Each structure stands twice: as structure tokens, then as C-alpha cells.
């Protein structure tokens, strides 16, 4: 698992930290050197033929000076491969021809070419953000690629989602892993698993080829009546992790995913819980770069409940959005992520990463965009190509996108109790941590370091509600609502002996 195990050697007083696969490789902000050496004459043509056949070619692969003979290399991707340039994305399998051959425990790596990202940073920033917030996603770094000693440019290097990844994130790897490609909308087509073969790819247990778990989940998702879905769906899907996925991809407006195009994701049937888990994949078009014919300015203010039309083709969104309980839950997940999605938190990271890769960006003669566009797109929107043509249109600047997106979402979520860290509070006031939020019963809790002198609940129009009792125990305030309050947004206000007043929004269903 990603939780490190620390062993104390008592005699030597030395602390040993157990490493998981890829921990060293992805640990630092650095740029790796990856080299392919092909011995086949005409290997460029062979790579193209093998792309059509979806087959690896044998090559000697060297990673940061460590050489792995007889490794597998092939082109990958769809639009990233078919872009008109000569800089193609690659997939590496060190164990394709030599069993268990691995670098830092990693057998497979993906090299993405940044064909739609002038900054080279979209993928790195979003994947780092997801991993830092406990949202299942591969890790990302940078690599200089050399092919037969020729520098072929700067790439992002991404962790593969495979059994190594599953063991690391979920502590088991024997369940079914499905990739939602090319049309994994999660709609119901019937009880025969063969009806879904054109929409999903089974990545584990291929020989057994039993899709009954996926079919059962789809049946529940699409057919259980809405009043019962709140209780039924969590038996088959980790809904909390799905809400993380939904919130994060909406936050970054990464529409080349389930929330937009309907693919580019994995779901894993976790053997330990019996639930499907969501895993992010392919975020190279984050920050509104997969536009679905939506103007860039509209993408920056995309509604947090955006569902592509027809909504019935996204049941994982459509069914949940119709229930106020999950609508509020999605708002809560987004509000939590917004605490770290701001220029004050991310601008310095953007600058540091840009400084790290700048020299290699400038040296990359195969990249899609110019050096000037790399610099400009860090801080401003730019126009590229011919609007309306493939690859043409507006590309959001990273820093202004963060500002506009954050402002829009805070406005959208204000009615759901999300104040945001930028909210101006009155002197002597602070924001409360309240749970559960929303409240669907008669009780909620407020974290409090000291015993308060007063606890009040106000309606949205400022009227104090007298229908509640409170007590303080175990560093939390227990608030009971003996009389049902009308559904809506309320303010909980707590006064302490030192005169400090803490407030927080709470939704009552």
C-alpha cells in the first residue's frame, strides 16, 4: 500500500522505510533519461505497422543509466498518435520478453507527447493534485526520450494502471479491472456480457472472462428506483470515491473522461470490499482543453452539475444528480478540493515545474507548440491553429484558468454551504468543521477544541432557530434538532469564552 511501513532496527538505531513500486522513480521533481535502442532495420516503419497490430517491438531500453535488454516498446494513443507531428506517444513493457524485468518495481510505463498542451504541465499538475488528495490516479513525471541516440523530445512519463498499481492502491489485485473504452457510458444493454465487449476492455482475469460483476453493477445503477438507490448503490460501487472522481474532473474541467466523452477511466472490483473503485486515466487535456464545442469562457464557469447531453447516457451522473442527498455530497467534495485549488497554492508549483522543464522544452524540436507559446500559456490564454479545425482554437492559460474556475465554483457552491478559504469573515470569526453535512436526520456534530458558551442556528434570512439542544463531549459539539427544520441552508454559530465566534454553513435535507 502507499502507506509506508517503518521498521526500527534496535541494535543499529537505523530506520528502514519499506518502498512501494515506483516510489523512488516518482519521488522527486526531476527529469528522467529514457533511451530506446532498436536493432531492426527500418524500425520506424515497423513501429507504425505494430501500432496497427497493437504489438510490441523488441528494443533495449535504458532508464537513468540502467539497461534492460529485450524490452517491449510500441506506439500508443488515439488522437495523441494521430496528430500530424512526428512526436508519437509510447508504451514500455520491460517484462514483455523477460519475465519480471522491472525498473524500481515498475514493469510498464507510458510516455505521453503533450500534443495539445503548450505548457507540458497539465497532466503533471492534475495527477499530482489527485494523488495528494487520495484520489486513485497514476503518478506522473518527466522524461527526455532518445531513440537510437537521437533526442526525440520531452515527454511526461506516467505510471501504468495494472496489477502492480492495484496492489499498491487497494492491497489486492485479483479482482476484475475494466477500462471504460471506447464507449464506457455505464448504460444498460442487457444481461449478456457480450453486449458490452465493444464498450469496455477487461484488463485482468482475461482467461476467465467473467463480466457478471460489471453486469450486476450496471443493472443496479440503471434499474433500482431512485428512493432505494441511496442504499443499494454503495453495495456495488464506492460512491464516495466516485464523488471524488466526479468533483476532481469537474474542477479541472477534464472532459475527456467519463464526465464528458464517456471514456478514459478504469473501474476495479475490489475483492476486499466487493465494491467497484474509480481510477483516473489520461488527463492530458485537463484545464478545459477537451472542449466538446463549448467556448473556453463557458468551460471556465462550467456548472458543477454539468452532464453531457443526452444525460441518460451518463447514468452514474444523471441518477445521482437527481437526488438532493448526492447533489449536496458532490458539492461537499468539490468544496474540500477547492481549499487547495487556488493561485496562492498552485502558482508557485507551476513556476517551479516550468523552471524544471524549460531547457528541455526549448531543446525539443518535435513539440507541437513554440517556445513563446510555452511561456505565454503559463499565464494567459492563447489561440492556436485555425478555430474549428482539429487542434485549433483557444487554449486556457494555467494560472488564469485556476482563478476563473475557483471564483465560479465558489459562487455556484455558496448555496450548498461552501464558504471557501477566500471568504471574508468578520473580525473574531472563523469557519466551523461540521459533519455530516448535509444533515438528513435530527443530529449533527461540530468540531470544537474548547467548550462553547452558546450554540445558535440561523436560517438563511437571519432568523434564529430555537428548536435545538446542544451538548459538548469529546471535543465536539452535539447538536440535536428535536423539531424538523424545513430543508435549506442554515448557519451554525458557536461562541466561546474568549469572545471568538465560529460559524459554518450547513444543509438540512
156 lies in the same domain as 168: no
Instruction: Report the run of H or E that residue 379 belongs to, with start and end.
Output: helix 371-379
119 lies in the same domain as 216: no
208 lies in the same domain as 257: yes
Q: Is residue 419 a part of any domain in this protein?
A: no
With cut-offs at 50, 70 and 90, classify the pLDDT of residue 485.
confident
Number of domains the chain contains: 4
More confident residue, 19 or 452: 452
294 lies in the same domain as 329: yes
What domain range is 371 assigned to?
A: 343-399
- Summarised one tens digit per residue, pLDDT across range 87-109 is 999 999 999 999 999 999 999 99
pTM for the full predicted model: 0.81
Q: What is the mean pLDDT of residues 189-195?
A: 98
Domain boundary at 287, 314, 338, which?
A: 338
96 lies in the same domain as 125: yes
- Summarised one tens digit per residue, pLDDT across range 111-123 is 999 999 999 999 9
Q: What is the mean pLDDT of residues 29-57?
A: 96
Residues of the chain with pLDDT > 70: what percent? 90
- Kindly report the average pLDDT of the chain as a whole number: 89
Q: According to the model, what pLDDT value does residue 162 have?
A: 97
3 state DSSP class of 238: coil
Q: What is the mean pLDDT of residues 66-74?
A: 98
Q: Is residue 311 a part of any domain in this protein?
A: yes
Q: Is residue 413 a part of any domain in this protein?
A: no
Q: In what order do the strands lie in the sheet with 469-473?
A: 434-435, 443-447, 476-480, 469-473
145 lies in the same domain as 217: no
Q: What is the mean pLDDT of residues 193-218?
A: 98
Q: Is residue 172 a part of any domain in this protein?
A: yes
Cα–Cα distances (Å) from 509 to 304, 447, 464, 489, in that order, read 19, 21, 18, 9
388 pLDDT higher than 70: no
356 pLDDT higher than 80: yes
31: closest CA among 359, 362, 283?
359
91 lies in the same domain as 206: no
- Summarised one tens digit per residue, pLDDT across range 288-300 is 999 999 999 999 9
234 pLDDT higher than 90: yes
Q: What are phi and psi of 430, to 5 degrees?
A: -145, 170
Domain boundary at 292, 315, 338, which?
A: 338
Q: Is residue 291 a part of any domain in this protein?
A: yes
Domain boundary at 338, 359, 379, which?
A: 338
79 lies in the same domain as 207: no
With cut-offs at 50, 70 and 90, classify the pLDDT of residue 421.
very low
Q: What is the mean pLDDT of residues 369-393?
A: 84
38 lies in the same domain as 94: yes
252 lies in the same domain as 360: no
443 lies in the same domain as 394: no
431 pLDDT higher than 90: no
Amino acid at each position: 500500500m502507499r502507506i509506508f511501513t517503518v521498521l526500527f532496527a534496535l541494535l543499529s538505531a537505523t530506520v528502514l522505510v519499506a518502498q512501494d513500486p515506483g516510489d523512488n522513480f516518482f519521488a522527486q521533481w526531476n527529469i528522467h533519461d529514457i533511451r530506446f535502442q532498436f536493432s531492426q532495420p527500418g524500425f520506424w516503419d515497423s513501429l507504425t505497422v505494430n501500432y496497427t497490430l497493437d504489438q510490441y517491438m523488441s528494443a533495449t531500453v535504458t532508464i537513468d543509466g540502467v539497461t534492460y535488454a529485450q524490452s517491449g516498446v510500441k506506439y500508443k494513443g488515439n488522437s495523441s498518435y494521430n496528430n500530424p507531428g512526428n512526436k508519437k506517444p509510447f508504451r514500455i513493457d520491460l517484462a514483455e520478453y523477460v519475465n519480471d524485468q522491472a525498473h524500481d518495481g515498475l514493469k510498464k510505463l507510458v510516455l505521453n507527447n503533450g500534443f495539445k498542451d503548450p505548457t507540458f504541465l497539465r497532466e503533471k499538475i492534475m495527477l499530482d493534485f489527485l494523488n495528494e488528495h487520495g484520489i486513485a490516479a497514476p503518478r506522473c513525471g518527466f522524461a527526455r526520450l532518445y531513440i537510437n541516440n537521437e533526442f526525440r523530445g520531452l515527454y511526461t512519463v506516467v505510471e501504468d494502471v495494472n496489477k502492480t498499481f492495484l496492489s499498491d492502491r487497494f492491497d489486492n489485485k485479483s479482482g476484475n479491472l475494466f477500462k471504460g473504452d471506447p464507449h464506457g457510458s455505464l448504460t444498460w444493454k442487457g444481461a449478456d456480457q457480450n453486449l458490452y465487449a465493444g464498450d469496455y476492455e477487461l484488463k485482468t482475469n482475461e482467461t476467465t472472462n467473467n463480466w457478471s460483476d460489471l453486469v450486476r453493477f450496471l443493472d443496479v445503477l440503471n434499474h433500482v428506483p431512485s428512493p432505494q438507490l441511496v442504499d443499494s448503490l454503495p453495495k456495488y460501487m464506492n460512491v464516495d470515491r466516485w464523488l471524488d472522481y466526479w468533483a476532481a474532473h469537474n474542477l479541472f474541467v477534464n472532459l475527456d473522461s467519463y464526465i464528458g466523452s464517456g471514456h478514459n477511466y478504469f473501474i476495479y472490483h475490489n475483492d476486499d470490499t466487493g465494491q467497484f473503485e474509480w481510477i483516473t486515466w489520461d488527463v492530458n487535456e485537463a484545464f478545459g482543453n477537451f472542449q466538446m464545442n463549448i467556448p473556453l469562457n463557458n468551460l471556465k464557469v462550467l456548472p458543477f452539475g454539468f452532464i453531457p447531453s443526452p444525460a441518460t447516457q451518463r447514468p452514474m451522473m444523471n441518477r445521482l444528480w437527481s437526488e438532493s442527498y448526492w447533489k449536496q455530497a458532490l458539492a461537499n467534495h468539490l468544496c474540500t478540493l477547492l481549499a487547495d485549488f487556488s493561485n496562492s497554492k498552485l502558482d508557485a508549483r507551476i513556476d517551479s515545474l516550468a523552471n524544471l522543464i524549460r531547457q528541455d522544452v526549448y531543446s525539443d524540436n518535435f513539440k507541437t507548440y513554440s517556445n513563446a507559446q510555452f511561456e505565454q500559456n503559463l499565464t494567459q490564454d492563447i489561440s492556436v491553429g485555425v478555430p474549428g479545425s482539429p487542434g485549433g482554437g483557444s487554449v486556457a492559460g494555467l494560472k488564469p484558468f485556476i482563478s476563473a474556475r475557483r471564483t465560479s465554483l465558489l459562487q455556484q457552491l455558496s448555496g450548498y454551504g461552501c464558504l471557501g478559504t477566500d471568504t471574508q469573515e468578520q473580525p473574531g470569526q472563523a469557519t466551523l468543521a461540521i459533519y455530516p453535512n448535509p444533515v438528513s436526520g435530527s443530529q449533527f456534530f461540530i468540531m470544537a477544541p474548547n467548550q462553547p458558551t452558546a450554540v445558535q442556528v440561523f436560517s438563511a434570512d437571519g432568523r434564529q432557530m430555537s428548536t435545538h439542544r446542544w451538548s459538548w463531549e469529546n471535543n465536539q459539539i452535539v447538536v440535536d434538532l428535536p423539531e424538523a427544520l424545513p430543508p435549506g441552508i442554515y448557519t451554525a454559530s458557536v461562541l466561546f469564552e474568549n469572545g471568538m465566534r465560529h460559524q459554518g454553513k450547513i444543509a438540512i435535507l
